[in-house]
Structure 1
Amino acid sequence: MSILADSDTVKVIVFQIKEKEYAIPVHQVRAIEKVLYITRVPGTVPFVKGVINLRGVVTPIIDLRSRFDIEDAEYTESTRIIIVSLLDMEVGLIVDAANDVIDIPVQSIEPQPEVVGTIEAEYINGVAKIDKRLLILVNLEKVLNPKELTITPRIEGV
């Protein structure tokens, strides 16, 4: 499913990781929460930080810094968990800050630039230039690849 809607604009949530601004479509966002206690789950891939109990629903949490192969940083007062929904799956994404909600004119969205040697490039749908801002549009289908999110049991004695 493309993020490009049938209208002239796409409404997105803008969030920050390191000094870059990223965006995901509002219709995929369920909530934005402060960082809650995260319960570690053994046998998960390193970017899956664990699970939280969000209003009675156990929700897996992915650290986008780790997923994009960006160095870890301490959680701060502005760190947020963005709860997204995709393919009947709800997942929390840890980001440095959730900045705002904006409408991006469809004509300002360009295809993903050819960036060589970056892991995050495979998770990008495109970029949008708005005034002096450059927003990186995140492809949640790639970030939340179910094959990579499954818990792999550890084999003892190997």
Structure 2
Amino acid sequence: MKEFDKDQLFGQYVVFAIEKQLCALSIKEVVEIIRIQPITEVVNDRDYINGVINLRGSIIPVVQLRMRYKLPIVPFNKKTRIIIIRNEDEGIGLIVDEVLMVTHIEDEQLEPPLEMFNTIEKDCFKGFAKVNDQLVGILNLQKVLYPEEVKEG
């Protein structure tokens, strides 16, 4: 496994929930957070891509993170959000159950990915941080969005 690089991980993070797992993305990766809106289904080979939305004239693919991690699908509610991220000059929406906070994660709060934890694949995390006595997984967007392209043979 690659050496755990704490220096690249501390800073401001958007913390959100998927099922009972708390996850975070660097504020640098997040463009905006919007309420759920009509999603147009599209045929594609990745079943976790829910469809596309029209965001101020831009067509944005939307990833349902519950589908990505094979978690039970629940109806959207007033807390459901779409986190718009920028990945290699393309906007992508991530559907999450709830956005909880923006927080600062210090170097001493960080730990490398754990071998065993509850619901989501270990490789999808850069590391973990303890925030308000809860474990938060810092997502590795490349491995979340393109799992088949980063598996090592």
TM-score (norm 2): 0.86
**Aligned position for 2:105:** 104
Matched, 1:46 2:29: no
Q: Secondary structure at the match of 1:142?
A: helix
Aligned length: 146
- Which runs of no fewer than 5 residues in structure 2 stay unpaired? none
Mark the structure with the bigger radius of gyration.
Answer: 1
Q: Do 2:66 and 2:73's aligned partners in 1 also have CA atoms closer than 8 Å?
A: yes
Change (3 A) 1:3 1:40: farther
Q: Take 2:5 and 2:96, find their aligned partners in 1: how far apart are those partners?
A: 20
Measure how far apart 1:119 and its partner are.
5.2
Moved over 6 A (4+): none
Q: Take 1:142 and 1:6, find their aligned partners in 2: how far apart are those partners?
A: 17
Q: Take 1:146 and 1:59, find their aligned partners in 2: how far apart are those partners?
A: 19
- Which runs of no fewer than 5 residues in structure 1 stay unpaired? 149-158
Q: Secondary structure at the match of 2:37?
A: coil
Measure how far apart 1:125 and its partner are.
1.2
> What is the identity percentage for the equivalent residue pairs of Structure 1 and Structure 2?
34
**Aligned position for 1:138:** 139
Change (3 A) 1:56 1:102: same
Q: Please list the CA deviations of residues 11-66 of structure 1 after superposition, one character each: whole Å capped at 9, or x if unmatched.
A: 10000111221101000000101011100011331100000000110000000111
Q: Take 2:144 and 2:113, find their aligned partners in 1: how far apart are those partners?
A: 15
Q: Take 1:90 and 1:112, find their aligned partners in 2: how far apart are those partners?
A: 27
